[in-house]
Amino acid sequence: RDESARTGIAERYHLSKQHFWLHGPRTGPQVEFEAGMWNVYGYPEVHEIFGDPATFSSDTMRVIPEHLLPDGEDFSLKGFITQIDPPEHGKLRKLVSSAFTRKIVADLEPRIASLTHQLLDAARERGRFELVTDLAYPLPVIVIAELLGVPSSDRALFKKWADGLFERDSKVSLAEPAEGLDAERDAAMEATLKPWREMTSYLAAHAAERRRQPRADLLTRLVEAEVDGEKLPDDQVVNFAIVLLLAGHITTTMLLGNTVLCLDAFPEEQARVRADRSTVPAVIEESLRFLTPFAALGRATTREVELGGVTIPADQLLMIWLGAANRDPRQFRDPEVFDPRRDPNPHLGFGRGIHFCLGAPLARLEGRVALDILLDRFDTLRTDPDDPVVLMPAPTMTGVRRLALL
Ligand code: HEM
């Protein structure tokens, strides 16, 4: 049953073998060394990593070989919340959480619903519906831009930056580049740095403006946030705004596209959720397990450690394959079946532990509201067989780039 579901989906959506290799359940070793880094695929092993940030540091920059870092430029992810370890992480997380609260997110529900309707109305007028361009991309970008307080009309810029940073089509390798490939590597590095610089100066200008003239927006709340008499330094306000702007759109875009793909691939589940809308949140959770948007995360070992029966030395880079862990048959029965009735569904789509996704309430809300409205407005959600689904090229991301509905 598993194998046929798997093959059916692969053929239907033209998924590559590599994609399955990285995201499917694995019967072989759960921890493997390849291309200079350790790949971790098993659920218990990944779980162990999330529970021990002292051994498995999020500060991966310190183990990235020099040849992969830009020359002579102060480029570092070090200041980003996702890269910071305890005890600094806890302090920063408290500060940003005091500005980006669950209440702020919950209050967005009516706006998310009205935006979804507006976007669907506009698509209907155009007479065709492509999920990504018409809804899954613009909805979360507009929501996060409005929340932060930057003009949502600048979203072509945000898209350019996000594409420049995320659209990698190959697996990263820590191996030395082959002779003659230096120029290629430098061009790729520049392609990453340029959007980074532009985004930093754009958000720094907006943050500076809020200091001068506070407004009712998240940037102002970040500038003013204070916990135990401490405020966020300027660069941390900008860093966090960058994380939100990037995380705030590409991730929910993937979630929405993936969920529609799952309901297309499993029509009996679409019928079930139509019959009982209270199961929409469970569909979203199972979509996060079945097609995990951030399929891989990085960590670095701070000491020699045994994991999954393998000894990993200190200062090694680890790739944690969340997509594979979410299909580990030791944790999930029939992992290749999309089954929203799993209860509990302890998927790792939002990570776990101290770095657990801060945007999870927003992503879940956007997913739930948009899916509910899609189900209301479309008698059936079915992909157009004459306009094949296109997936994102990076193996570390699972998302659709184009998904035309009938
Ligand atoms: C962290 C996934 C949406 C903001 C994370 C992590 C994962 C993740 C796996 C853990 C990273 C780690 O442990 O290294 C997702 C998925 C999303 C989503 C699958 C959508 C389906 C969002 C949204 C926002 C957001 C909408 C904000 C608007 C963040 C932040 C962190 C984070 C700030 C860092 C938390 C920390 O390091 O303490 N996310 N995310 N995410 N996410 Fe999300």
For the stretch 344-354, pLDDT in tens is: 999 999 999 99
pTM: predicted TM-score of the whole model, two decimal places: 0.91
Report the CATH superfamily, name and number, of domain 2-65+77-402: Cytochrome P450 (1.10.630.10)
Residue 126, burial from CB neighbour count under 10 angstroms (0-12, 13-18, 19+): exposed
Pocket of ligand 1, candidates 89, 239, 249, 251: which has the most ligand atoms within 8 Å of its Cβ, to mutate?
Answer: 251
Q: Where are the domains of the chain?
A: 2-65+77-402
Residue 232 has pLDDT above 70, yes or no: yes
The CB of 349 under 6 Å from ligand 1? The reply is: yes
The CB of 359 under 6 Å from ligand 1? The reply is: yes
Atom number of ligand 1 nearest to Cα 367: 21
The CB of 255 under 6 Å from ligand 1? The reply is: yes
Six-digit token string for 165: 């940073």
CA dihedral 210, 215, 218, 224 (to 10 degrees): 60
Atom 18 in ligand 1: residue holding the nearest Cα: 251
The CB of 252 under 6 Å from ligand 1? The reply is: yes
* Mean pLDDT estimate for the chain: 87
How confident is the model at residue 181, as a pLDDT?
60
The CB of 77 under 6 Å from ligand 1? The reply is: no
Atom 32 in ligand 1: residue holding the nearest Cα: 357
How confident is the model at residue 169, as a pLDDT?
47
Atom number of ligand 1 nearest to Cα 140: 26
Q: Are 20 and 4 in contact (CB under 8 A)?
A: no
Atom number of ligand 1 nearest to Cα 254: 21
* pLDDT tens-digit series, residues 128-164: 899 999 999 999 999 999 999 999 889 889 888 887 7
